[in-house]
Amino acid sequence: MTECKALRAEVEMLVDGELADDLRVEMMRHMQTCAPCRMFFEQAKLLSQQIRAAKEEVRAPDVLRSRVEQLISERARSMHAVSGQRPDLRRRLGWSLAAAAVVLMIFGVVGIARNSSQRGGAALVQAAIQSHEALVGHRLQLGIATESNQAAADWLNTRTPFHFQIANAGIANDAQAKYRLEGASLADVEGKTVAVLSFRMPGEAISMVVGPGKYSVNKGDSVVYSDGIALYSRRSGDLHLVSWKNRGLSYVLVSPMSMGSPSSCVHCHAGAAAGRTQNARLPYDFGMEETAQYSAVSEYLASSQQGMRAASDKALP
Amino acid sequence: MFSFRRREPAQSLGTEYLDTLYRYALVLSRDRSMAEDLVQETYVRALEAQDRLYANSNVKGWLFTILRNLWFNELRRRRNQPQQVESEDGIQEVEMLPSASPTAHALLEQQESTSRVRAAIAQLPQEFQEVLLLREYEDLSYRDMAAVLKCPTGTVMSRLSRARMNLRSLLVKAEEEAFSLGQRR
């Protein structure tokens, strides 16, 4: 009975459609033989139905409606006015930036590339926190919404200046994962494109930023070694960060869940029993090819193109 | 130094969420005039920031977040002002939030039940009404609710659970009262 009381949160999640498939099946199976849980489930379902049935139709006053419609049409008019100027602005900015890029390419390639790699510092970690908050707050939307690792990798590989593929082995195997990929997006860190991946577990959002290995990862409050790779863990407010480097890329994982100990792997990976972490594959070891080797020139060219795109974007309304 | 990438053209904002925003504003402010101001200002802010939206943005959650932020700014502003005693005439009743006193004796049983649920919801603290609205009326996921309420999903779950527990107690009490009233007749 005491155990069943502890399951009540899961029962409510079941009613709210927030329980993961495997847990839902498990819970339904449990309720076949557990009368108290079954009764709690029926009551919770009934209450939800009663609340929904009591929903009263509310219509915003006409005066408010017409004010809002006016705001929208004014905004549409101003957007239209600005968009008419867009091609000229973009063309002008594009040419001037292209000219600047040629000059800089001749004189400043090596210096800029070196400076950029030294500045990396906490930028990727900061980007990971901001991306996570923006994803949760709907300010950053997924460029591709998919549960397919391959589809996300394909999408990212045409947009990032580094190559990666998503591993499907060890505890990162799909069958072991309690999390689900939601999709991918992009962010710019110091003019460089980095990958943002969004995962979801029941009730929790997890995100990960992946960038070139030149970005240093912050040394955390604790460290866990897995296959010789150091996973640094630390807190930032309500969030927990794990960062590591592997095969030429830097990773920062952000989650509201604590991830500072080997046993915490079981939160996300069904097969990751406590103590196995030392020999387990990384949860997000994407098995990167050793192709993330950039010359200073290609690195600079990539940043120049992004700089032009960013400047063009700023000209948009 | 750090920026998000614009991937797709911004969505155009329409009035499809107007009624639902107005309902939410009423739950927060319990004042029709204030609710109208909140909704209008929400649209002003949203339209200004519209170009930051993506094609697949959760516009509804975003609008709810803006509205809630505006309401809390308003509350902060009020707290910093000298307190005024409001006369009873000045208090605007909100039609959609029914009074706690039972007035549905003449209605059919189904309507009585609905009325009891509405009355019970109206007796709940505002934070409980809010989570019930976001979950049951607006169908937001725990994650989206957490974004709107600016709290962890665990807090959303516990608040929602407490809201339902309190509502259940109020409904049981209301049914007992209705029963004893029927016995006395």
Q: Which residues in A lie closer than 8 A to residue B23 (C-beta atoms)?
A: 58
What percent of chain A shows pLDDT beyond 70?
A: 59
List of chain A residues whose C-beta atoms are within 8 Å of the C-beta of residue B3: 187-188, 310
Interatomic CA distance for residues A98 and A109, integer angstroms: 15
The more confident residue out of B107 and A248 is A248
Q: Which of A67-76, A210-219, A287-296, A299-308 has the highest mean pLDDT?
A: A67-76
pLDDT for res A117? 37
Pairing between strand A204-212 and A222-226? unpaired
Cβ-Cβ contacts under 8 Å for A37 (sequence gap 6 or more): A4, A7, A11, A27, A30, A31
Instruction: Round the average pLDDT of chain B to a whole number and report it.
Output: 79
- CA A15/CA A113 separation, integer angstroms: 54
Residue B117: exposure state from Cβ atoms within 10 A (0-12, 13-18, ≥19): buried
The answer to whether the Cβ–Cβ distance between A72 and B13 falls below 8 Å is yes
Beta partners for residue A225, in sequence order:
A230
Angle of the A21-33 helix axis to the A35-53 helix axis, nearest 10:
120
Between residues A233 and A102, the one the model is more confident about: A233
Residue A259 confidence class, pLDDT cut points 50, 70, 90:
low
Q: What percent of chain B has pLDDT over 70?
A: 71
Q: What 8-state DSSP symbol labels residue A220? A: -
Q: Which residue carries 């800089």 as its tokens?
A: A104
The pLDDT assigned to A16 comes to 93
Q: What number of other Cβ atoms are within 10 A of residue A113's Cβ?
A: 19
> What's the angle, vertex CA A247, arms to CA A244 and CA A253, rounded to 5?
30
Please check the confidence at residue A316 and state whether its pLDDT lies above 90: no
CA dihedral sign, ordered B44, B25, A205, B136: negative
Residue-level pLDDT at A114: 35
Contacts of A185 in chain B (CB under 8 A): 4-5, 7
What's the pLDDT at A79? 67
CB contact under 8 A, A187 and B47: no
A310/B8 Cα distance (integer angstroms): 14
Q: Which residues of B touch A126 (CB under 8 A)?
A: 1-2
- For the stretch A155-205, pLDDT in tens is 787 777 777 656 554 445 555 566 788 888 888 887 778 888 988 877 778
pLDDT of residue A166: 63
Local confidence band at B87 (pLDDT 50, 70, 90 cut-offs): very low
Q: Which of A125-134, A199-208, B46-55, B159-168 has the highest mean pLDDT?
A: B159-168
Q: What is the pLDDT of residues B24-34, one digit of tens each?
A: 999 999 999 99
Across A32-36, B2-6, B114-118, least confident range: B2-6
Shortest Cα distance from A58 to chain B (angstroms)?
Answer: 6
Cβ separation A138–B137 shorter than 8 A: no
Q: How confident is the model at residue A227 (pLDDT cuts 50, 70, 90)?
A: low
Q: How far apart are CA A94 and CA A98, in angstroms?
A: 6
Can you give the pLDDT at residue A151?
80
- Close Cβ partners of A254 (under 8 Å, ≥ 6 residues apart): A128, A129, A131, A132, A206, A207, A208, A209, A239, A240, A241
Nearest CA to A169 out of A284, A314, A315, A309 is that of A284
Q: How many CA atoms within 13 Å lie on the side-chain side of B57?
A: 26
As a whole number of Å, the end-to-end CA separation of chain A is 60
% of chain A exceeding 90 in pLDDT? 12
Q: How far is B96 from B119, CA to CA, in rounded Å?
A: 10
* Assigned token pair, A299: 């690195």
Say whether pTM exceeds 0.90: no
Q: Are B47 and A72 in contact (CB under 8 A)?
A: yes
Q: Mean pLDDT across the stretch B148-173?
A: 94
pLDDT of A258 reads 65
Mean pLDDT, to the nearest integer, of A219-246? 75
* B164·A126 Cβ contact <8 A: no
Count the Cβ atoms, other than its own, within 10 Å of residue A137: 16
B148 to chain A: nearest residue by CA?
A137
Burial status of residue B123 (CB atoms within 10 A of its CB: 0-12, 13-18, 19 or more)? middle
Check CB contact of A131 with chain B, cutoff 8 Å. yes
Higher pLDDT, A171 or B48: B48
Q: Which residue has the higher pLDDT, A250 or B183?
A: A250
Instruction: Work out the angle at residue B144's Cα, subtended by the Cα atoms of residues B47 and A140, and round it to the nearest 5 degrees.
Output: 55
Chain B CB contacts of A64 below 8 Å: 18, 22, 36, 39-40
Q: Left if phi > 0, otherwise alpha if psi is -120 to 50, otherwise beta: which for B150?
A: left
ipTM: 0.76
**Nearest partner of B7 among A209, A198, A20, A184, judged by Cα:** A184
What's the rounded Cα separation, in Å, for the pair A93 and A290? 36
Average per-residue pLDDT in chain A? 68
A-proximal residues of B, 66-95, CB under 8 Å: none
Residues A166 and A149: beta-carbon distance below 8 Å? yes
Which pLDDT belongs to residue A265? 56
Average pLDDT over residues A91-97: 39
Q: How far is Cα A154 from Cα A139, in angstroms, rounded to an integer? A: 24
B39/A253: higher pLDDT: B39
Q: What is the pLDDT of residue B41?
A: 94
User: What pLDDT, in 10s, does the model give residues A1-19?
Assistant: 456 777 888 899 999 999 8
**What are φ and ψ of residue A184, in 5° steps?**
-135, 160
The SS3 of residue A137 is coil
pLDDT of A212 higher than 60: yes
pLDDT of A96 strictly over 70: no
Task: State the virtual CA torsion across B65, B67, B69, B72 in degrees, nearest 10.
Answer: -140
B47 touching A (Cβ < 8 Å): yes
B16–A contact, CB cutoff 8 A = no
CA separation for the pair A207, A199 (Å, rounded): 6
Preferred mutation among B5, B113, B115, B129 to probe A, highest tally of A CBs within 10 A: B5
- Paired sense of beta strands A222-226 and A229-236, if any: antiparallel
Which residue of B1, B58, B154 is in closest CB contact with A123? B1
Residue of B nearest to A315 (CA): B51
**Which residues from A are below 8 Å from B159, CB to CB?**
none
Q: Is the pLDDT of residue B160 over 90?
A: yes
Locate the chain A residue with the closest alpha carbon to B119: A54
Which residues in chain A are contacts of B55 at CB distance < 8 A?
141
Task: Please state the separation of Cα A47 from the chain's center in Å.
Answer: 35
Contacts of B133 (CB under 8 A, 6+ apart): B23, B24, B27
